[in-house]
Amino acid sequence: MPSRSQSISIGELARRTDCKPETVRYYERIGILRDALRTEGGQRRYGEDAVRRLTFIRHARDFGFSVDAVRELLAMSDQPDMPCQEVDAIAKHHLEKVESRLQRLSVLRDELQRMVTQCAGGKIESCRIIEVISDHQHCISETAHGGAQDLG
């Protein structure tokens, strides 16, 4: 059983784990945070265990693990006696994805760098950037770059 004192409000939990109350409710809805205890008036109250669990979730998300991966990691961390091969596999798989993304992004960077430096600053008609986008022939790599979504 978790700690006796279930006195943390959703707002405080959010503050302590650097996220928003909406996100906490979202995690509850999709089932990676357990349903919270409620006050008589129906508000959620949490204990320290929830802080730990949510910290884990947020941290794993920071590492770029998908919510599904986080779900698996959580399930595993709830089974401390099991061997950690699967944890290892998930992490390695993720690492591979990060590495391949890194590869593609750096090709992209080179391509962009090249096209920016080659722009002579004249008319659009003769702009190197527009030219390169118009015609893949101008690219270094023959294959698609694979996009670069979510660069926020």
Of 22-30, 73-81, 94-102, 116-124, the segment contacting DNA by CB under 7 A is 22-30
Give how far Cα 54 sits from Cα of 4, 16, 17, 32, 60, Å.
18, 9, 7, 9, 10
Query: What sign results for the dihedral spanned by CA atoms 48, 51, 56, 59?
Result: negative
Among 31, 68, 134, 142, binds a copy of itself (CB under 8 A): 134
From candidates 12, 63, 71, 72, binder to a copy of itself by CB under 8 A: 63
45 forms beta bridges with 9, 37
Residue 31 binds: one of a copy of itself, DNA, none (C-beta under 5 to 8 A by kind): none
Report CA 50 to chain centroid distance, whole Å. Answer: 20
Residue of 32, 85, 140, 142 that binds a copy of itself (CB under 8 A): 85
**Is residue 119 near a copy of itself by the rule CB under 8 A?**
yes
Pair 2, 49: CB distance under 8 Å: yes
Q: Are 44 and 12 in contact (CB under 8 A)?
A: no
Tell whether residue 149 is a contact of DNA (CB under 7 A): yes
Number of residues that bind DNA (CB under 7 A): 24
93 binds, among a copy of itself, DNA, none (CB under 5 to 8 A by kind): none
Q: How far is CA 1 from CA 14, 47, 48, 72, in A?
A: 22, 11, 12, 22
Which region, judged by CB under 7 A, interacts with DNA, from 42-50, 75-83, 95-103, 129-137? 42-50
Q: What would the two tokens of residue 70 be?
A: 């986080």
User: Do residues 130 and 109 make contact, with C-beta atoms less than 8 angstroms apart?
Assistant: no
Q: Tell me which of 5, 52, 68, 92 binds DNA, using CB under 7 A.
A: 68
Interacting residues with a copy of itself (CB under 8 A): 18, 52, 55-56, 59-64, 73, 76-77, 79-85, 87-88, 91-92, 94-95, 97-102, 105-106, 108-109, 111-113, 115-116, 119, 121-125, 127, 129-130, 133-134, 136, 144-152
